[in-house]
Amino acid sequence: MTRPEYPMRHLLPLCVSLLLVGPVHAQTSQPPPVTTAATPPTPDRTVLFVPQASTACADGPLSAMASDAFTPTVWATTFATPPVGQRIERVAYDFSVSEQGRPLSIRPVVSDGFSRLSVTTDAQMQASFASWVFPQTARQDCRLTLRLTPTLLSSADEMTVLRFYADARPRDALRTAVERRLRRPGDDCGRPPPRTLSYPDYLRPGRPRPGARSWSAVRWDLRDDGTTINVEVIGSSGDAVLDEEARRAVSGSAFRSGAARGCLMTFMRVGPNLAAPPVNRDPPDDPLQRCDEAFASRFTPGPLTYPEALEDRGIEGWARVRFDVATWGQIGNVSVLEVQPAEAFSPVAARIVTSGRAVPSFDPQVRCVVPIQFRLPEDTARPGDGQDGVDAPARPHFGPPPNTAAPAPF
C-alpha cells in the first residue's frame, strides 16, 4: 500500500486579517495589577513601582534616539508597613533592532533571576517599548532591563504620581487614593458633573511618534456659576500642543453650579498607528508537515480579538501559528512559530486558532501554518480624556479590511 501524498512545507493560502474598528479586546485580559485590599487603598498603604530602563546588546551599548518613560505599576496592601525598601525587582525583555531602528522580537526574559509581571502589565511594557526608536543599524541579542523601585504613593514625587494617574488611568478606590495624594490643603472639588464640555483638538500637528502617546494634567477652580478659573497644567509628558489644547478645553467647559477648588482632569493623545514590520513569507521548512492546501477553505478562525495594551498604543503586528486538525474538525497542538513586533500578540493569536473549527474530512491535517495579521482602522487619534472618556462599541472584521486591497497569501 502506498501512502497518500500531501503538499508539504507551505503556508496555508489563508490570511486571518484582524481589522479592529474600535476597542474590542481579548476576553481573557486581566485587570490592572492591583491586589484588592480588605479596606480601600490609601496613599500610605499603596506602593508605586517606578521602572528605570536601560538597554544594551551583546556587542556593546545601545542608546535610544526616542523613548518614553514607562508607566509605574502599583500594589495596594492592608499591611501596616508596605514592602518599601525591600530588594528592587528586575524585569527584562530580549529584543533585536531592525535596520530601520525599531525594536523587534520583544519577549520577556523568564530566567536569569528576573521577575515576571502580571499578564496585563507585561503586555503594557511591551507595547510601550515597541514605539522606541534606535539608530538605524541592525543589532542582535539586545536586552531591555527594568529596575522597579518601590515607593510609597504618599511620598512619591508629584510628577511620578501624575504620570501614573494619567497613563494608567486608575479606577474606583485606587483612583480616589491617587487623588487624595494630589490634593492640596483646601482643595474640595471632587468630580463635579459637567454642563458643557469642550475637547482638545487631538489631531493638531505635533502628535507623538507612531505608537507613542502623550498626556497632560490640568487643575482648575470653579466659580459659583460653574465656570472655570485659574486653569493650569500641573504635569505633562512634554507635548506643548496637547498642553495648550487641554487648557483651552477646560477653560471652555462649564460644570454644575457651586464654587470649588482643585478640580483635576487628565488628557491623552496618541501618535499614528505603528505599522507591523514586514511579514515573514517564507514557507516553513518542516518535513513533518502534512497539510492539504485546500484545507484553507474549510477552516474558520475563532472570535477575533485584539490585545488591549497594543491597541491602546496603535501597535500593529502579526503571528504565524502552527496547529493540527483532527478528522472531526477539532483544532489541537497549537503553537506560535513567530510573532512581531512583540510577544504580547502571541497568546491572542494562539487563542484565535485554538477556538477555531474546521469542516470534518477523512484526512487529518498535521502542522498546518496560518498567518494572523493584527490591523487597526485608519488613524483617528483615538481621542479621550483618559479618565472619563467613553469608548464606543465596535466589532472586529475577518478578511480583507474594507476599502483596502486584499491581503496576499503568504
- For 86-145, write each residue's pLDDT tens digit: 567 899 999 999 999 999 999 999 988 898 888 999 999 999 999 999 999 999 999 999
Strand, helix or coil at 169? coil
Q: Which domain holds residue 348?
A: 16-27+276-398
Confirm whether 7 is domain-assigned.
no
Within 10 angstroms of residue 408's Cβ, the number of other Cβ atoms is 9
Identify whether residues 309 and 359 lie together within a single domain: yes
Residue that wins the pLDDT comparison between 394 and 103: 103
In a domain, 65, yes or no: yes
Judge whether 177 lies within some domain.
Answer: no
Residues 75, 137 within the same domain: yes
Residue 1 lies in a domain: no
**pLDDT digit string, tens, across residues 52-77:** 999 999 999 999 999 999 999 887 55
Instruction: Find the range with the poorest average confidence among 33-42, 76-85, 120-129, 383-392.
Output: 383-392
Q: Same domain, yes or no, for 285 and 373? A: yes
3-state DSSP of 97-142: ECCCCCEEEEEECCCCCCCCCCHHHHHHHHHHHHCCECCCCCEEEE
Is there a domain that residue 295 lies in? Answer: yes
Do both 22 and 108 map to the same domain? no
**Does residue 380 belong to any structural domain of this protein?**
yes
Structural domains counted in the chain: 2
Q: What are phi and psi of 272, to 5 degrees?
A: -60, 165
Structural domain contains residue 181: no
- Asked if residue 223 is part of any domain, the answer here is no
Average pLDDT of the segment spanning 335-346: 98
CA distance 384 to 294: 45
Q: For 248-272, write each residue's pLDDT tens digit.
A: 999 999 999 999 999 999 999 999 9
220-241 burial: b if 16+ Cβ within 10 Å, else e: bbbeeebbbeebebebbbebeb
